[in-house]
Chains A and B, each alone.
Chain A
Amino acid sequence: MTNIVGIDLGTTYSALAILNAIGRPEIIPSADGERLIPSAIFFDEENPDVVRIGIEAVNSRHLNAQRSVRWIKRHMGDSQYRRTIDGKDWTPVELSALILKKLKQDGAIEHGEIRDAVISVPAHFDEVRRKATMDAGTMAGLNVIGIVNEPVAAALYYATTRHVSGRILVYDLGGGTFDVTILDAKGHQMDIVCSQGDHALGGVDFDRNVLEMLEEKYKEEFGAELIDSDEDRARYEDEAEDIKRTLSRRNVAKKMLYGPAGNMRVEITREMFEQAINERMERADILIEVALEQAGIEPSGIDKVLLVGGSTRIPLVQQRLEKMFGFAPEVAVNVDECVALGAALQAGLTMLREKPDDVPVGIAGGLKDIQLTDVCNHSYGTICAPLDKETGRRVIQNRIILQKNTPLPCEVTQTFYTLTDNQDQIEVTVTQGEDTEVEYVNKIATHKFKLPPDRPAGCPVRVTYSYDVNQRMHCTFEDVESGRVLEVDLSLDQDGKVSDSDIKEKEEKIAAVGNSKVE
């Protein structure tokens, strides 16, 4: 039987879920029996080919932090980031691929080969980061059939496990990222309305706040730094996380600090913790308000708030939401697993749409009632030079064609005009981003479009962007008078035009991941 899986590749923890014979998602534990695997990597000192993933990697950090990697999701899409281990520069994509490889490998123990997968990403991830995630899956030997937003995956899981209806706000506060998604639900039918998110707001930031408090207290006491090595830092990061978790259950957490200048006992109260993280919580509140404004509703227009992600266990999160909406948020059966479970459901829906013959009857039956209407995650546009009404000058600007949060599938056309007489070429650029200023948007494709010669300025060029449910974008640039057309297809699983050296580099990376033995 074809295994259809969903993967939550988290900043701090990852999980793999599979659709069972009747289309219900189930978490596949790791080889060690853990349902959640820490997204931590440790390159074995004695065996250079061995890479440890999970709790072993977390513990090994205390011994040799230089050979460990954590929170790599924070650097996804960063083309400059590298971790050099034994002379090899590992990119975020390769490191993420090692984690995915571990999940795939462990999942195959009980269920056989794992191939077709949907991987979840934060809703605010841009094309670069989504593509990087997809590439990581491919490098790990997966056939990544789609990418799903984490709040959407969570909402999918909720909708299939309990009665959910009305206007729902999904509050996803995980280890490294925060998303808020508003959707309309009616039974198993869900229509996404809008999303907002912060790429650097999550549990690791709260841990950092706690660590800062510990360092401050130590310095007050001894006048010296608490941490003087990477291993110390690794150890105290884990202690800070432990304090944070304790404060979710109790009002005070007590720890011993063993520093270079001496030892001390420290107490962190819940009040101190909440004060330290207050600014970050304000940011989350702002994004909720932004999402509500985008949806055109007030807090009273929300019928239910669903909590997703381990950091929603923090009491302050629930208190602030209750204050904002006037009712207590709903806590999932398991806030840590629902994203992976929902990703598996999304994988099933994708397979039903694209390869229905490959989907076992039982699974198809379990999924048949589920309908999901997703939206465009970002705005897409092109660069043009309109006349500024005030100055009468031409300004280079990004013009949005496909607005963010447009329901999928969608297609929008706008007409532009050539600027000069005898203009025989246009440089067309497909952009992603919300800004009108060109330097603030991503240029995801650039092509030269040849036009007929010897024409006056002002010839119309029709630009059509369409985005389908499989996250494939199609752009058409049409010279109206001559009928000439330039078509650009963009999808996450394509690299576009690549050079021979790019291909060679990619092959080397795939080989590096393939040759690594993950345990």
Chain B
Amino acid sequence: MTVYLILFSIILAGSAVVIFSGVFDRFGGTTLPARLLLKASPYLSRLCEWVERIGLKESVERQKSKLVDLVRDRMSNSTESNEDSPSSGLVDMSLLNCRVQISELKENNESYDAFNVDICGTIHAEKNGCQTFITISLNDVTDGSSAPVQTWTNESSMSAFCRRVELGRLPQEVTVLSDWRTVAQIRVDGLLFARKGKRSVQLEASISSVDGNKELSRTRCVFDYDNPAHGYQNLRENAERTKVLAVALAFAVSAADNELCQSEIELIENWARDNILENSDRATEKDARKLEKVFSRTVAFFREGNKLDTCRICEEIVELAPVAQRYDILDLCLYVARADGFVAAEESALLKDLAVRLEVDTEKFRLMMEKVLPLHMYEVKDVEAILGLTSDMSNEKARRHLNREYSRWNARVTNTDPGIQSQADQMLKLITEARGQFTTEQPAGQEVEKIAAE
């Protein structure tokens, strides 16, 4: 049991649990002795060693799952949760009690899930007619009440959830609420839990006087909630995992032409340092050296001619990462492709493939490529991809599309930036050449005759 608790603490304390060797084991089909340590924390180092010892990431999940069930079982035996009626005898009316029930809240003709916070029992005030308010907070205690995890508000400024509700005046010094009274309704969509799935949530309620801010009564209860959305810890872990996968894809692009250039490797290393070794000021020299070592092994892996299964990597990224992060990954890959000043045909093809597999908007990706990869760098110009032509376009549609592209680049040809001017000149040339295939041969006069005949 102690082992399980220590293990679970390690998992929770480290934010990114990704084992590079796990990536290769899973996707590469080739054993890579190197691991990429993603976060420079002692917890992860130990975890990595432990995982390597037991062999599989899945085992971690199994162990974790067992521990969660165990803790939940213990929590469900707690005497602090109480959903029974006050009159059932199980509620101590001499104290303040609370409960939470999931309800439906209607606002502006829309329905939302909400937590109804009910209280009953006795409230001791300082005097008759005391003006009071109740403060409500929520914590995730799935992993034990000794290690509660805050629930956040789901707003742009993420902060711990805490709601204050005015209760009004208590008529007497001792007020007894004989029935459950709803004092607050909390919209569930306004909350961000730590994790997805079945959670044990502890609600703490504290009644205080408005004058003097003195706490009069306090209560808590625990309830179960099946959170359908990713929690913020899930999101953080997913983000960290995604970053490692991003590095994997970046290396795949770099190695696509069977040539890992130093400029490409440096770019990936710098990106990894900036994005994975969080707060590089805090990262120790030891962490940086570990990262260097892992990179050397990674480079050696590719230089031996090994390849990654980029399809499976992309599948996992699509599961874990929001679309914004996928664009960031593609952005990294584009800069890797351009790092050596030359975009090989294989790199270009792989980039196109990654964009499809990462399920991003094709046109948006094409505009990203346009900005990052100047035309003169391409070994082989995939004219259709560069100009955004698709096989389902009719001649007429293609012609109009090219006209729009021409107009767009024509406006840029007088830009003060010589790089943009040059790119615009080249694009105009390319569009003019491509358009030759789609020029309508029928002169206008014949067109008029045709319409008249119809």
List the interface of chain A (C-beta within 8 A of B).
77, 79, 126, 129, 196, 198-200, 279, 282-283, 285-287, 289-290, 293, 298-300, 322-327, 390-393, 433-435, 437, 439-440, 442
Contact = CB atoms under 8 A, between A and B. Distances in A.
Given A196-B410, A290-B404, A440-B420, 18 more contacts: A126-B414, A129-B414, A282-B435, A285-B439, A286-B406, A289-B399, A289-B403, A293-B400, A298-B447, A300-B448, A324-B443, A325-B444, A326-B448, A390-B323, A390-B361, A434-B407, A435-B408, A440-B411
B20 interface: no
Contacts of B444: 298-300, 323-326
A293 B322 contact: no
B415 A440 contact: yes
Interface in B35-79: none
A300 B447 contact: yes
B436 interface: yes
19 contacts: A199-B413, A199-B414, A279-B432, A282-B435, A282-B436, A283-B432, A290-B403, A290-B407, A290-B410, A300-B444, A324-B443, A326-B444, A391-B323, A392-B322, A392-B324, A435-B408, A435-B412, A439-B420, A440-B411
B410 A198 contact: yes
Contacts of B371: 437
Given A392-B322, A433-B411, A286 B420 contact: no
Contacts of A299: 444, 447
A133 to B, nearest CB: 14
Interface in B314-350: 322-324, 327
B213 interface: no
A77 B416 CA distance: 9
Contact of B403 (A286, A300, A433): A286
Contact of B364 (A129, A293, A390, A392): A390
A414 B2 CA distance: 64
Contacts, number: 84
B417 interface: yes
Nearest to A198: B410
B315 to A, nearest CB: 20
Contact of B324 (A77, A300, A326, A393): A393
Interface pairs A-B: 5 shortest CB-CB: A326-B445, A391-B324, A326-B444, A299-B444, A290-B407
Contact of A290 (B323, B406, B447): B406
Interface string B262-274: 0000000000000
Contacts of A283: 406, 428, 432
A434 B406 CA distance: 13
A393 B431 CA distance: 32
Contacts of B417: 439
Contacts of A435: 408, 411-412
Contacts of A126: 414
Given A300-B447, A393-B324, A293 B432 contact: no
Contacts of B412: 435, 440
A318 B411 CA distance: 26
Contacts of A439: 417, 420
Given A391-B323, A393-B324, A440-B412, A282 B432 contact: yes
Contacts of A287: 406-407, 410
Nearest to A388: B324
Contacts of B402: 286
A386 B254 CA distance: 34
A198 B432 CA distance: 13
A298 B411 CA distance: 23
B181 to A, nearest CB: 33
Interface in B384-409: 399-400, 402-404, 406-408
Nearest to B327: A391
B92 to A, nearest CB: 44
Interface string B129-146: 000000000000000000
Contacts of A433: 411
A77 B415 CA distance: 10
* Max chain A C-beta neighbours (<10 A), residue from B364, B410, B417, B428: B410
A433 B417 CA distance: 14
Contacts of A325: 444
Nearest to A421: B157
Nearest to A436: B367
A79 B322 CA distance: 44
A383 B324 CA distance: 22
Nearest to A323: B443
A442 B411 CA distance: 11
